[in-house]
Structure 1
Amino acid sequence: MSSAFASTGVAAPSPPSGGGRHIAVFNAPQPGHVTPTLAVVTELVARGHRVTYAITEDFAPQVKAAGADVVTYCLPSAAREASEDLMAGAAQAMQQNVRALPELMAAFADDTPDLVLYDLAAAGGRLLAAYWQVPAVLLAPTHLPYEGILSELYGVQDLSHMPGVGMLRMVLAAHGVTEPLEELLLAPRQAVAFFPRAFQRKADTVTAGSVTYAGPALGDRSYQGIWKPPQDGRPVLLVSLGTRYTHRPEFYRVCIEAFADTDMHVVMTVGHSIDPAGLGPVPKTMEIHPSVPQLDVLARAAAFVTHGGMGSVMEAMAHGVPLVVVPQMTEQQANAHQVEHLSLGLHLPREQVTPQALRDSVQRVTTDPEIARGVAVLRQAIQEAGGTVAAADAIERALTRAQTH
């Protein structure tokens, strides 16, 4: 075996027990990628399977709470910095995957899984599945590869123009994997999407083989804490830019000004790099936190001003909450396009954000009957998609197919 997969002394997961199969999950160390998978892990473990989850140490507690064994890999601090440039983020992810391969190979050296679940941002898992010659299922927290995705989201025409691709090709060749990288990354044979087909960008051109559009898998989020709703009966407005691109003090100040004199109770998250005291006077009808248990707030919310990450969009739709989307990057812009196309809310480009524009947008999404109908339609689609159970069923079908071939 070449030095790229040299042993690092990482402990292997515990041996199998019971009649279930061994499923390995490879994911990117980001909440928007990890959180959608946790309920599915819990469901698979409840069905008797053993799940080993490869992730960084900071996500280990919630992954263990979901019922999985954890194999951790290390990343340098610089690799954790978020970039709004999707191309830069993709290059960083590819570097992370190659860097983590030796640790992951060592951890699974004596315990090859029966099936691999992987995120596109953790493509190292897909490469390992090809190396081990075991089936793989893509877990998609956002749009599946579709015709034109590289040009729309990354500004390139083909995979060869993506940074880091040459390095991945070399790793594949060094280990005798003959499958083309284009097929491994852009044409997954099996996929589970955490959103309904109606929200998939250009769904008719998706390049995956078998796809289960399971919708969001919403499970226990008690690790996020508890939020108590106001007792004054005011409608609740949630404002959040997610977990990665949150250092936006000017945006938060505009929100404070926009909603200071409205009849809404505003719950706003600002991340951990912003001191709320530095945002100026805050009205009594507004609460500001680094983060909140989002599902708890959405259960009471009348509207959601959001960055438009897929997880946030789907959680809002599952609760019937209309959206004002202020995207931070191209993937979120694609989501904002779908939000407007399906009449789920409004797209407000961040360069157009003013107090008046925010007030007008929230007023519109909470009163427009067409938006109410659009939200109701997608909420029904999510309920029919099956969520956690549908995702686990699809994964078990992949296991069954693997056993019969």
Structure 2
Amino acid sequence: MRDVLADGHGRGRHVAVFNVPMHGHVIPTLAVVRELVDRGHRVSYAVTAEFADSVRAVGATPVLYDVPPAGEAPEDMAEGVTLAVGVNVMALPQLEQAFAGDVPDVVLADVYAWAGPLLAARWKVPAVQLAPTHIPYEGLVEEFFGLEDISQIPGFTELSGELAHFGVPGGVHALTLAPPRTVAFFPRSFQRRPETVRAGEAHWVGPAISERSFQGSWRRPAGDKPVVYVSLGSQFNKRPEFYRACLDAFQGQGWHVVMSVGAEVAAAGLGKVGDGFEVHASVPQLDVLASASVFVTHGGMGSLMEAFSLGVPVVVVPQMAEQRVNAAQVEKLSAGRHLPREQVTPQALREAVRAVAGDGRIAGCVARLRREIEEAGGAVAAADVVEKVLADTPMVTG
């Protein structure tokens, strides 16, 4: 039996979140989960054990599935999607069993967490896509994957069988390119070709940034040196030659340089590190960005949005196709500079950081983007979308 809650706002409902085990996909959702929990909802979060503590920290209950460790993400996005399909296919029976006696009222699912919309179809409950990257637009398949049609991705052959089994209409194209509702964690101005977006409802709420004391803390050192922050994120950070180029580029330039290089590079070391450098396996990124004058980044959407929300311009050194699209958007909005990785030298890095740090036009554009992010609403706006869906959805009561 299903009933709509009397308050008409969908409060006190069961929300299930489905995600893939990747920091850049989990982290953007946590503030939304906290907001939903604070509004009185019960949130179950399907992910691997690696993220269980982060999920608990925002008040949700982890629903764990087990898959083999993925290792470093491939640069080829079609290969990466095929691996993500494998994760979903392995997770599906585990999650179907885990939720068998506790069906949610609404499903929130990452763009790569297809187990979510498949199970939503089985349960006949609404689904909302959570997009940490561009909502599908005209040209995405070619720009992201180098293909003419998304069905050419090998993994989708396996996923097509699951779609039929779970009763999802429209096949792979509808599932991946035309979701009924999407919440995107960046402002509309950063969306590639927004006029061609195919989603039924598209809500660009901007980054949903949460308190992250579980990541530790960082304090700016004494003195007045401007801070340059360097990070290639969590997936493409095994690049010791890049970090050594940064050491050469910024030595003796009057900057304090904070470098997040990943566990493997940190353990191996980078050789002699001069004064004015900090080299860490990881850092609490928001703390460092709050003091940074420039961010040298791989250009992941989450990292870019955190930088812009704090008014920090960027030098983008993309490592794969999606990040190259992001770098193009950065330059289109004059929020920083794109430095292709094949052009990286100490001199090129030094010149790019100097140019970005000293450009008043870039500073003004970043300030406008920061205001747009503030106005987009973040976690509050995302939770409003979910509650609107819940208010129109009968409650699962048995």
TM-score, normalising length: structure 2: 0.95
Pairs within 5 Å for 1:293-304? 293-304=284-295
Pairs within 5 Å for 1:305-316? 305-316=296-307
Pairs within 5 Å for 1:51-66? 51-66=43-58
Q: Which has the higher contact order (CA 8 A, sep 6+)?
A: 2
TM-superposed CA distance for 1:400, in Å, is 1.5
Distance between the aligned counterparts of 1:335 and 1:324, measured in 2? Answer: 12
Structure-1 residue corresponding to 2:6: none
Are 2:19 and 2:113, in contact at CA under 8 Å, matched by a contact in 1? yes
Distance between the aligned counterparts of 2:166 and 2:207, measured in 1? Answer: 36
How many pairs does the alignment contain?
Answer: 386
Structure-2 residue corresponding to 1:15: none
Distance between the aligned counterparts of 1:386 and 1:213, measured in 2? Answer: 9
Structure-2 residue corresponding to 1:76: 68
Indicate the larger mover: 156-165 or 257-266. Answer: 156-165
Structure-2 residue corresponding to 1:10: none
Uncovered stretches (5+) of structure 1, i.e. residues with no partner: 1-17
Q: 1:118 is paired with a residue of what secondary structure?
A: strand
Change (3 A) 1:106 1:51: same
Are 1:237 and 1:301, in contact at CA under 8 Å, matched by a contact in 2? yes
TM-superposed CA distance for 1:19, in Å, is 5.9
Distance between the aligned counterparts of 2:268 and 2:178, measured in 1? Answer: 48
TM-superposed CA distance for 1:389, in Å, is 0.6
Partner residue of 1:48 out of 22, 34, 40: 40
Q: 1:279 is paired with a residue of what secondary structure?
A: coil
Per-residue CA deviations over 1:51-83 (Å, capped at 9, x if unaligned) read: 000000010001011110111001113x34421
Are 1:33 and 1:141, in contact at CA under 8 Å, matched by a contact in 2? yes
Are 2:151 and 2:172, in contact at CA under 8 Å, matched by a contact in 1? no
Structure-2 residue corresponding to 1:9: none
Distance between the aligned counterparts of 1:315 and 1:131, measured in 2? Answer: 36
Distance between the aligned counterparts of 2:266 and 2:99, measured in 1? Answer: 43
Pairs within 5 Å for 1:360-371? 360-371=351-362
Pairs within 5 Å for 1:310-325? 310-325=301-316
Are 2:131 and 2:184, in contact at CA under 8 Å, matched by a contact in 1? yes
- Counterpart check, 1:386 vs 2:377: yes
TM-superposed CA distance for 1:162, in Å, is 1.3
Pairs within 5 Å for 1:3-402? 20-77=12-69, 79-275=70-266, 278-402=269-393
TM-superposed CA distance for 1:179, in Å, is 4.0
User: RMSD value over aligned CA atoms?
Assistant: 1.4
Per-residue CA deviations over 1:368-390 (Å, capped at 9, x if unaligned) read: 12211211111110011011111
Q: 2:93 is paired with a residue of what secondary structure?
A: helix
TM-superposed CA distance for 1:280, in Å, is 1.8
Are 1:276 and 1:288, in contact at CA under 8 Å, matched by a contact in 2? no
Distance between the aligned counterparts of 1:281 and 1:176, measured in 2? Answer: 59
TM-score, normalising length: structure 1: 0.93
Change (3 A) 1:98 1:220: same
Distance between the aligned counterparts of 2:242 and 2:175, measured in 1? Answer: 40
Q: Percent of aligned positions with the same letter in both sequences?
A: 57
